[in-house]
Amino acid sequence: MNKTKKAIIKRFKVTKNGKILRRATGQNHYRSKKTGQDRRKGRKWITLSKSETKRVRRYLQS
C-alpha cells in the first residue's frame, strides 16, 4: 500500500459531493499589474476537470 501524497492534501480540497477544488493560478506575485476584477477572481476555488480529478484522486487514495 502506498502512502498518501501530503503535498496533494495541502493543495486541494474535496467537497461533500466528491468534487476536487484548487486555488486559482497566478496569485503569488505581480498582482499590482492585475485589475481588481482579476484579483477578486483569484480568491475563488476552481473545480478540476475530469482527467485532473482522476489523477489527483489516485494520489489521495494511495
Divide the 62 residues of the chain into consecutive groups of 10 and give the mean pLDDT of each group. Answer: 86 94 94 95 95 92 72
For 61, the grid coordinates are 487514495
Q: Yes or no: say if 2 and 62 are a contact pair by the CB < 8 Å rule.
A: yes
pLDDT of residue 62: 63
Give the whole-angstrom CA distance, residue 13 versus residue 2: 20
In a domain, 1, yes or no: no
CATH number at residue 31: 4.10.410.60
Count the domains in the chain.
1
Give the pLDDT score at 53. 94
Q: Is residue 37 part of a domain?
A: yes
Residue span of the structural domain in which 10 resides: 6-61
Whether residue 51 is contained in a domain is answered as yes
